[in-house]
Amino acid sequence: MAHRPKRTFRQRRADSSDSDSDSDSDSAEEPSAEPGAPGEQAVPGPEEEGPPHEGDRAEAAERPLRARGPRGRGRGRGRVWATSRRAAGAAPRADGECTTVDLSTDEEDGTYDASESKDDQSSPSDSSSSLEEEFSSIVNIPDAAFIQAARRKRELARAQEDYISLDVKHISTIADTKKDSDEDPESEPDDHEKRIPFTLKPQTLKQRMAEEITTRNEESSEESQEDEKQAIWEEQQMRKAVKITKGRNIDLSHSSEFQTVKKFDTSISFPPVNLEIIKKQINRRLTLLQDTHRSHQREYEKYVEDVKSSKNAIQNLENSSDQALNFKFYKSMKIYVDNLIDCLNEKIINIQEIESSMHALLLKQAMTFMKRRQDELKHESTYLQQLSRKAETSTNGSLAIDEKTQCILEGIESRRAQRRQARALSGNCDHQEGTSSDDELSSADMADFQKSQGDILQDHKKIFEDVNDDFSNIQNILLKFQQWREKFPDSYYEAFIGLCIPKLLNPLIRVQLINWNPLKFNSIGLKQMPWFTSIENFIDNSMQDSKKEDNSDKKILSAVINKTVIPRLTDFVEFIWDPLSTSQTTSLVDHCRMILEEHSTCENEISKGRQDLVKSIVSRMKKAIEDDVYIPLYPKSTVENKTSPHSKFQERQFWSAVKLFRNILLWTGLLPDDTLKELALGKLLNRYLIIALLNAVPGPDIVKKCNQITAYLPEKWFENSTMRTSISQLENFIQFLLQSAHKLSRSEFRDEVKEIILILVKIRALNQAESFIEEYHLDHLKPVINQV
C-alpha cells in the first residue's frame, strides 16, 4: 500500500527572521543559518574575509546596533510591525498572501563586504535603480555626515573608557582563525577568545531580491510536486476501493472530478416497448401528480382559511373593549379567592383550638353528670341492701353508714326536694319519680362552667376581629360569586364553583357553630342561623338565573350540612349526649330530623356522614341500655309498702327505664324500624321492664305502667287494618297483659280488665282479645273490637 506523502506547510522567508534568530548559542564557532533556510548554513568565502574598508567598518558597526532594537521588543510583536511595513506598491501573491521584504533581518557577521557594497552602488541596471527608488521611500539610509558623527562619538566614548572597547582589528583575526580552522583543528582558539556573533550578516538589496525570487520559484515547484503526488496517491486509493466487476471498466482520469463511465453490454435484452405501454405509464404518472396537486391544493386552502380566521379573531379582540373588562374581572376574582384562601388557612388553626376547648368543656360536664349518676346509683343500692340484711337479722340499733355514702344520699334527697318544689310551683302534679333528668349543678360548679364558657366565647369573637367583612362575612363572599354567575354563567359553571363553595365556607360556618349546642333545650335551629339563610338566598337566586337541570348550586346547602354540620352532630352524639335525658334527646331529634329528612344529598342516597351519624346514635343507645338501666328485684313483702325505701327505689328505676324506652322510640322515622324494635322491645322491654312488671303486685299500678308503655309505641307499626296479630317482639308483653287480666277478673278490678282489653286492641292483638272476651263472657267489650 502506498503511503500518502507528508505535506509541509512552509513559512515565508520574509517572516522567518524572528524564528531563525533564536537558534542555539553553540553556533558561535560556525556562521549562523541564512534567514528562511533552516538546516543550510552559509560559510563566508575567501573574498569576504579580507579586512573591510574603514568607512564600511563604521557602517557595519552601526547596523548591528540598529538591528538589535526590534529583537529586544520580543517575539510576539514581530508580526505586527512586519505587516505594517509592507511596500506600498507590492502586489498580493496568487495564493492570497502578501510578500514583504524584511530589511531588519539579523546579519551573520559584524563584517561588511566592500566589494558587494561597491557593486551594489555602481550597478547601472535600470531594474536595480528602480527597486532602490522604491525601497528608498521605506528605508531611511544614513548619509556620510551622519556616519562620521557616529564614528567620532564612538571614539570619544572609547577614550573616556565608559565601556568595553570594540577592537575592530580583532575581527579580522577571528576571521583568519576561522579560515585556518579547517586546516589545523588543534590551532583553534580557546572559548574565551572567540567572539560570539549576535547578528546576521547584512545583505545587499540585489541579494535580497535574488533570494526572494529563488524562494518563490522553489515554493511553486515544491507545491506542484506535492499536488502531483497527492493526485497520484488519491488515484491509487480510488483503484483499491472500487471493485472492478465483469463487463464493466472503470476509467479514472486525473481531472477536476473523477467520473465513472459504464460500458453498455449489448448481450442484455430488454422487453419490447410499444406506444400503449408508454401511454399508460404516462397517464398513471399524470394521475398521481394530479392527486398530489389536489391534496396540496386542499391543504393550501385550509391554511388560507386558518390565516383568515386568525386575523379576524385578532381584529375582533383588538376592537372589543369588553375583553379588557372581562380580564380585569377575572383577575380581581383570582386575587380575591387567593386572599380568601390565605386568610382561612391562617385562621383555621385558631378555629380548631377554640372548637377543641368548647368540646372539652362540654365533655367534662357530661362526664361529671354520668359519673355522679353511677356513683349515686351504686351507693343507694348498697345502702338498701344493708337495710335488707338488717331487716332479715332483726337487729336493733341504727345502721352504720360511712361519711361519703351519707353525703351522697343527702345530696340526692336535696336535689329531689328542689325538683318537687319546682313541679309544685309549675302545677305539674302528675309526675313519676325517676323520669326527671338529674342534671343540676351546684352553684360553684355552674359558676366555673359559665366562666370557662365565657372565656372561650371571648376568644371566639376575636378570630375574625382583624379581618375585613369581605373575607369573614358569608353573605359578602357569596355575593362575589353571585356576580360572577350573573356576568359569566358559562365560565362559572365550567369552573364548578358550586362544588368549591362548601369547602370555602367550612371554616366560617364552624365559627358560627362553636356556641351551638344541639343538646340544649330551645337551642337555635340551623334554619335560623345567618349562614343558612345566606346559602338559601344564594341557591334561590341561582334557580332564577339558570334553568339548568344539573345546576350544581342546588346541592351547596346539602354539601355544607354533610361536610360541616353532620360531623359536629356526630361528635355530640358520641361523647356528650345522654340518652337518659329527655330534653337532650328531644332537641337532638329535632335537629337530626331537619338534617336527615329535609336536606338529604339526593334521593335514595345516604352519604357517609349520615351513615356515621346513624351508627353513633344506635351505638350510644345500646351503651345506655347496658350501663344505665338497673331495676332491682325485692321481695313482694318489701315492695308492697309503697312508702318503703326499697319500693321507692324500684319505682324510680323502673320509670327511668321507661323514660329511656320513650327516648329510644323518639327516633322513629329517623332510624330503621328493625333497629328500633331490637333496641326498645328486644333489649329493654323484654329484658328489663316485663321482669319488673312480673315481680310487681297486680293492680291499678300495673295497668297504668302498661298503658304508659303502650302510649310510647309508634302508631305506624300498627296501621295495617288486616293485622289480627301484633308484632313478634310484643309477644311477651301480650302474654303478661293476658295474665294480668286473668288475675284482675277474679277480683274487684273490673275496670282494669277493660283497660287491658283496650291495650290489646291498640297493639293489634285482636285474636288474643277475642279469645279472652269469649272465655270470660265479656260481651259488653265486643263493640270495642268491632270498632277497630
pLDDT digits (tens, 9 = 90+) for 376-391: 888 888 888 888 776 6
State the Cα angle at 152 between 146 and 156, rounded to 5°: 145
User: In whole angstroms, what is the distance from residue 631 CA to residue 633 CA?
Assistant: 7
User: In whole angstroms, what is the distance from residue 537 CA to residue 394 CA?
Assistant: 76
Least Cα distance to 710 among 672, 762, 753 occurs for 762
Least Cα distance to 706 among 747, 652, 760 occurs for 760
Residue 180 reports pLDDT greater than 60: no
Give the pLDDT band (50/70/90) at residue 71: very low
- Give the pLDDT mean for 310-329: 79
- What pLDDT shows up at residue 158? 73
> Has residue 104 been placed in a domain?
no
> Has residue 549 been placed in a domain?
no
Overall size of the chain counted in residues = 788
- What pLDDT shows up at residue 59? 42
Give the pLDDT band (50/70/90) at residue 363: very high
Between 25 and 525, residue with greater pLDDT: 525
> Has residue 746 been placed in a domain?
yes
Identity of residue 600:
S
User: In whole angstroms, what is the distance from residue 763 CA to residue 783 CA?
Assistant: 17
Least Cα distance to 584 among 361, 371, 366 occurs for 366
Sequence-ordered list of residues with C-beta below 8 angstroms from that of 339, at least 6 positions apart, any chain: 471
Q: Are 500 and 553 within 8 A, CB to CB?
A: no
Between 598 and 221, residue with greater pLDDT: 221
Residue 583 reports pLDDT greater than 60: yes
Residue 105 reports pLDDT greater than 60: no
If DSSP codes are grouped into helix, strand and coil, which group holds residue 605? strand
Of 156-165, 361-370, 613-622, the one with minimum mean pLDDT is 156-165
User: In whole angstroms, what is the distance from residue 655 CA to residue 667 CA?
Assistant: 19
- What pLDDT shows up at residue 114? 37
From the number of C-beta atoms within 10 Å of its C-beta (0-12, 13-18, 19+), residue 603 rates as exposed
- What pLDDT shows up at residue 513? 94
Residue 624 reports pLDDT greater than 80: yes
Identity of residue 346:
E
- What pLDDT shows up at residue 548? 61
Identity of residue 536:
E
H/E element, 149:
helix 144-160
> Has residue 114 been placed in a domain?
no
Give the pLDDT band (50/70/90) at residue 606: low
Average pLDDT, the chain: 75
Identity of residue 453:
Q
> Has residue 741 been placed in a domain?
yes
Which three cell numbers, joined as nine digits, stand for 270? 430488454
Q: How many domains does the chain have?
A: 1
Between 58 and 488, residue with greater pLDDT: 488
- What pLDDT shows up at residue 40? 37
| Bridge partner list, 602 | 605
- What pLDDT shows up at residue 569? 93
CB atoms within 10 A of CB 575: 15
Q: Are 597 and 669 within 8 A, CB to CB?
A: yes
Give the pLDDT band (50/70/90) at residue 639: confident
Highest mean pLDDT pick, 129-133, 256-260, 608-612, 620-624: 620-624
Give the pLDDT band (50/70/90) at residue 296: very high
Residue 690 reports pLDDT greater than 90: yes
pLDDT in tens, 775-786: 888 777 777 777
User: In whole angstroms, what is the distance from residue 579 CA to residue 361 CA?
Assistant: 19
Q: Are 577 and 584 within 8 A, CB to CB?
A: yes
Can you say how many angstroms the Cα of residue 647 is from the centroid of all Cα atoms in its chain? 72
Give the pLDDT band (50/70/90) at residue 725: confident
Domain that holds residue 680: 672-787
Between 654 and 16, residue with greater pLDDT: 654
> Has residue 694 been placed in a domain?
yes
Q: What percent of the chain has pLDDT over 70?
A: 68
CB atoms within 10 A of CB 622: 16
Between 666 and 27, residue with greater pLDDT: 666
Of 29-38, 233-242, 427-436, 587-596, the one with minimum mean pLDDT is 29-38
Highest mean pLDDT pick, 121-130, 276-285, 406-415, 634-643: 276-285
If DSSP codes are grouped into helix, strand and coil, which group holds residue 17? helix
Give the pLDDT band (50/70/90) at residue 447: very high
pLDDT in tens, 759-775: 999 998 888 888 888 88
- What pLDDT shows up at residue 737? 92
DSSP secondary structure letters along 326-384: HHHHHHHHHHHHHHHHHHHHHHHHHHHHHHHHHHHHHHHHHHHHHHHHHHHHHHHHHHH
691: region left, alpha or beta (phi > 0 left; psi from -120 to 50 alpha): alpha
Q: What percent of the chain has pLDDT over 90?
A: 32
Give the dihedral sign, CA 81/82/85/91: negative
Give the pLDDT band (50/70/90) at residue 112: very low
Between 293 and 5, residue with greater pLDDT: 293
Give how far Cα 259 sits from Cα of 227, 239, 242, 588, Å: 20, 13, 12, 105
- What pLDDT shows up at residue 541? 85
> Has residue 760 been placed in a domain?
yes
> Has residue 717 been placed in a domain?
yes
- What pLDDT shows up at residue 37? 36
434: region left, alpha or beta (phi > 0 left; psi from -120 to 50 alpha): left
CB atoms within 10 A of CB 652: 19
User: In whole angstroms, what is the distance from residue 12 CA to residue 9 CA?
Assistant: 10
Between 60 and 599, residue with greater pLDDT: 599
- What pLDDT shows up at residue 440? 75
If DSSP codes are grouped into helix, strand and coil, which group holds residue 438? coil
Between 122 and 566, residue with greater pLDDT: 566
- What pLDDT shows up at residue 345? 94
Between 56 and 678, residue with greater pLDDT: 678
